Structure formats: C-alpha cells, structure tokens
Amino acid sequence: MTTVVTCLLGVLAGSVTSANAASTLETVKEKGFVTCGVNTGLPGFSSPDEKGHWTGMDVDVCRAVAAAALGDAKKVKFIPLTAKERFTALQSGEIDLLSRNTTWTLTRDATLGLNFAGVAYYDGQGFMVKKSLDVRSATELSGAAVCIQSGTTTELNLADYFRLNGMKYDPVVFDTSDGVAKGFDAGRCDVMTSDQSQLYALRLRLRLSKPSEAIVLPEIISKEPLGPLVRQGDDQWFNIVKWSLSAMINAEELGLARANIDNNKMSKDPAIQRFLGLDGPKGKGMELSDDWAWQIVKQVGNYGEVFDRNVGMGSPLKIERGINNLWNKGGIMYAPPFR
C-alpha cells in the first residue's frame, strides 16, 4: 500500500516539474514543423484552396517563421481555429503561434498569458449593407439586425458604437466568418460588421450576382491592429516571431524581393549585408542560422509582395495599401532596424 502511495506521489511530483517544458524552438526543431493556428477560412488571410493548400497573409507569416526557424517555409502544420477557440489553443500549447487576424488589445496582452509579436495588418471595423436597403451611413442603422462573429473585438466595438450613438440593434451572432456571410446572404440580418479587410474578403463569398450589390459604409469605428501571438515566458520564440515579421517589412524597405535577393548578395549596402547575415548580429541571439532573414525573403517574399499577392492589387480582393504602406511611403508600417 505504501509503495503504491509513494509511486503515485512520485508520478504527481514529476508531472509538476515537467510542466517547465523545453523551449518552443527546441520542440519545433524536434518535431520538424511549426504548428500554426489560422482562420478557418478567410480569403486573403487564410483559406485553403481546392487542393488543400493554404494561402493568405496570416498563412505567409506562419511560413516566414518556419523559414526562419527551420530553413523551410513549407514545414508548417496549419490548425484552423474559430475566434472562440484561438486563445485556448495557444495557451494550452496546441499551437506554437497564432497568426489569425487577431486584434492586439490590453486584455489579450495582459491577462491571457500571451504576447503580440507585432502588427501584420492595420485594420478598422466597418459595416456592409445591401445596396437595396438604401443606407448611406452607419448612423442610419438604428433598429437593424447585425451579423457578427462571436468572441471578437468586433462584437464589443459594435455594442459601444450603437450605445454611444443611442441606436438599437439585434445582434445575430455566428461562430465563423463564413457563418456571418451566410446569415447576411440569407437575409437574417441587414448589416454585416467586421474588420474592413474581412468585409472585402467575405463579399467575394456572397451569392450576389455582382459584388457591388453590397456596399461598405464609409464609417470606420475602431482601430484593429492585427498580428501574430505567442505564449508568454519564451522570449526566444517571441523574438523569432517578432523579427520574422520585421524581416518582411525591412526587406521591402531595403528593396529586397524574392526575385532580386540573390543578386543583392554582393551589395555594398551595409544594411543589406546585415540583413543577409553576412555581417552584424546574424542569427546568434535567437539560435537561428545566419541566413534566416534571407530564407524568409527567398521563400516567402517581402511584406509588399505578400500584401500584394494575397489582399492587394494582385489578388481578387483589391485592397489599397493605405496605412499598411511603409512609413516612408505614406503608411505606418515601420519595423525596427537590423543592427
């Protein structure tokens, strides 16, 4: 009997100490791929094509991290998550990083045990209505039924906006952005509200004869800085994700793209030398190979390329760069330098 008790206690004690597991980079290297939480299906950000190949901006951030950590952008396992599932999946260690159009807020940063690794897309919440309703402004929406995705900042901003303007609404809440589009399509609600980028993406999903039958209202009612997240307590991994994103933005600023990065190896520009890992801090502090940033640009591309092919003019969404342009081109995209 006593031996049984000792054994049990031993096992339990062991389980407590083993809670301090190996670092995320070590586990990623050991299993050979990065587990990345993404949206269940949002064109332009993360959606699987007919062959099951994931595309989108958020997906490319995952690929960039894999390129930096493992030297191969293909070594990513995508886990589709709804807004409600995403944080628990990251907290519990089911995924190594969450790259899923998630708004950076105080609560999420401070109480969920998570860290935002930067902003991959500056967004704002907007409204979409069918043209036939003849609504020109969000201020005319009192009494409308509004389709929203549950567990999002969108849900909270909407409530604030309507309360502030003394308007009433019926919240019709769906689990996925696809559900929101379906509800709007079926006429369950008059208005669909979400981050503007999502509205453009979802408009492609609607069964309207012309996409222009649904219009986006001019009001933008919130700031939605979207970016990737990691768990707190692993600064090395946090740095890797943070700098993978910075590398994409810096690459655009330095004029490095997929096509020309190899030609730039001979460049005399010290900033490019440092970026390519030929000089300067290299990958040492993050325990990455020296060419980690080169791998990102070579395999995934710079921020501008990623933006353009997924949501910009090279994609069906045709979203303007706007504030997502580089800081020196009229936008607010700004990454810390490689020094």
Partner 1 sequence: MLKVSFKTLLAKCWRDPVWRGVLFQNGLILVIVLIGYQIIQNTLHNLETRGISTGFDFLSQSAGFGIIQTLIEYDESFSFGRTFVVGFLNTLLVSSFGVVLATFLGFLVGIASLSSNWLLARLAGAYVECFRNIPLLLQIFFWYFAVLGVLPSPRESLVWGDSLFLNVRGIYLPKPELSGDTSIFFGAFVFVLLVLVALIWVGRRYKRQSGRTLPAMKTLSVVSLITIPLIAGWLSGVQLNWDLPVQGRFNLSGGLTLIPELVALLLALSIYTAAFIAEVVRAGIQSVSSGQREAAAALGLRQGRILKLVVIPQAMRVIIPPMTNQYLNLIKNSSLATAIGYPDLVNVFAGTTLNQTGQAVEVIAMTMAVYLLISLTVSLFMNLYNRYTAMVER
- To partner 1, the closest distance from the beta carbon of 85 in angstroms equals 9
Nearest residue (CB) to partner 1, 102 versus 295: 102
Residues binding partner 1 (CB under 8 A): 1, 4-5, 8-9, 12, 15-16, 19-20, 83-84, 87-88, 91, 107-108, 111-113, 133, 140-145, 150-152, 155-156, 158-160, 162-163, 169-175, 179, 186-188, 190, 231-233
- To partner 1, the closest distance from the beta carbon of 329 in angstroms equals 36
Q: What is the dihedral of CA 239, 242, 243, 244, to 10 degrees?
A: 120
- To partner 1, the closest distance from the beta carbon of 99 in angstroms equals 18
Pairing mode, if any, of strands 121-123 and 191-195? Answer: unpaired
CA dist 284 and 205 (Å) reads 45
Positive or negative torsion for Cα 244, 249, 254, 258: positive
Nearest residue (CB) to partner 1, 104 versus 291: 104
- To partner 1, the closest distance from the beta carbon of 21 in angstroms equals 11
Integer angstrom CA distances of residue 75 from 61, 220, 245, 314: 13, 37, 17, 25
Q: Up-side HSE of residue 196: CA atoms within 13 Å toward CB?
A: 24
Nearest residue (CB) to partner 1, 182 versus 309: 182
- To partner 1, the closest distance from the beta carbon of 319 in angstroms equals 27
Nearest residue (CB) to partner 1, 126 versus 179: 179
Give per-residue burial for 49-75: e unless 16+ CB within 10 Å, then b.
Answer: eeeeebbbbbbbbbbbbbbbbbeebeb
Nearest residue (CB) to partner 1, 71 versus 171: 171
- To partner 1, the closest distance from the beta carbon of 235 in angstroms equals 12
Nearest residue (CB) to partner 1, 143 versus 336: 143
> Which three-class secondary structure string do you get for 255-296?
CCCCCCCCHHHHCCCHHHHHHCCCCCCCCHHHCCCCCHHHHH
Task: Decide if 131 contacts 124 (C-beta within 8 A).
Answer: no
CA dist 160 and 205 (Å) reads 28
Nearest residue (CB) to partner 1, 77 versus 188: 188
- To partner 1, the closest distance from the beta carbon of 198 in angstroms equals 17
- To partner 1, the closest distance from the beta carbon of 318 in angstroms equals 29
Query: How many other C-beta atoms lie within 10 A of the C-beta of residue 165?
Result: 12
Pairing mode, if any, of strands 191-195 and 144-149? Answer: parallel
Nearest residue (CB) to partner 1, 122 versus 162: 162
Query: How many other C-beta atoms lie within 10 A of the C-beta of residue 180?
Result: 29
